[in-house]
Amino acid sequence: MDRVHDLVEGRLDAEGAAALAAAAAADPDLAALLEAYRDVHTATSGAEVEPPPCRVTFADVERRIDRTIDWTGPAGLLRRLPVRLAAAAVLVAGVGLAWSAAHTSVGPAEPVIDPVVHLTAIPAEHQVLAETGIEDMASTLAAFRPVVDGQPGWLSDFDGGLAIARATGRPVLLFIYHPTCPACVQLRSDSFPDEEVLGLLGEFVPVHVDITVASEKVGSLTQQGWPFLGAFAPDGTQLAAFPGFLSSEQLQTNLRDAVEKAELGGAVPWTRARALAARLDVGVAAFDGGELGKAYREYAALVTDDADGAFGAAASRGMIAIGAAARVSLMEARELSTEAAAARLDDDAARFADTPFAADLSAVREALRTSGRFPQLDPPLSEGR
| Residue 10 clears pLDDT 60, i.e. is over it | yes
- pLDDT of 83 higher than 60: no
What was the pLDDT predicted at 24?
67
Query: Could you tell me which residues come within 8 angstroms of residue 186 by beta carbon, excluding any fewer than 6 positions away?
Result: 245
pLDDT for the residue 133: 86
Write down the pLDDT at residue 25: 72
Domain ranges of the chain: 2-103, 170-267, 272-378
pLDDT digits (tens, 9 = 90+) for 219-231: 999 999 999 999 9
Which residues, at least 6 apart from 316, have a Cβ–Cβ distance to it below 8 Å?
299, 303
Give the rounded percent of residues in the chain with a pLDDT score beyond 70. 73
Question: What pTM does this model have?
Answer: 0.69
pLDDT greater at residue 357 or residue 30:
357
Label residue 357 by pLDDT band (50, 70, 90): very high
The model's confidence at residue 87, banded by pLDDT at 50, 70 and 90, is very low
Per-residue pLDDT of 100-155, as tens digits, reads 544 554 556 666 678 999 999 999 998 887 777 899 999 999 999 999 999 999 99
Residue 60 has pLDDT above 60, yes or no: no
| Total Cβ atoms within 10 A of residue 187 | 22
User: 276 or 385: whose pLDDT is higher?
Assistant: 276
What is the pLDDT averaged over residues 35-40?
66
pLDDT band at 44 (very low <50, low <70, confident <90, very high): low
Mean pLDDT score, 23-40 = 69
Q: What angle do CA 174, 176, 179 make, to 5 degrees?
A: 135
Q: In Å, how far from its chain's centre is CA 321?
A: 13
- With the CA atoms of 273, 198, 224 and 177 taken in that order, what torsion angle do they form, in degrees rounded to the nearest 10? -90
Q: What span, in angstroms and rounded, lies between the C-alpha atoms of 331 and 328?
A: 5
More confident residue, 272 or 68: 272
Instruction: Tell me how far apart the alpha carbons of residues 319 and 325 are, in angstroms, rounded to a whole number.
Output: 10
- Continuous segment of H or E residues that includes residue 172: strand 172-177
User: Thinking of the domain 170-267, which architecture would CATH place it in?
Assistant: 3-Layer(aba) Sandwich (3.40)
Query: How far is the CA of 29 from the CAs of 39, 65, 75, 269, in angstroms?
Result: 16, 16, 16, 115
Average pLDDT over residues 175-202: 97
Cβ pair 378, 119 in contact under 8 A: yes
Residue 21 has pLDDT above 80, yes or no: no
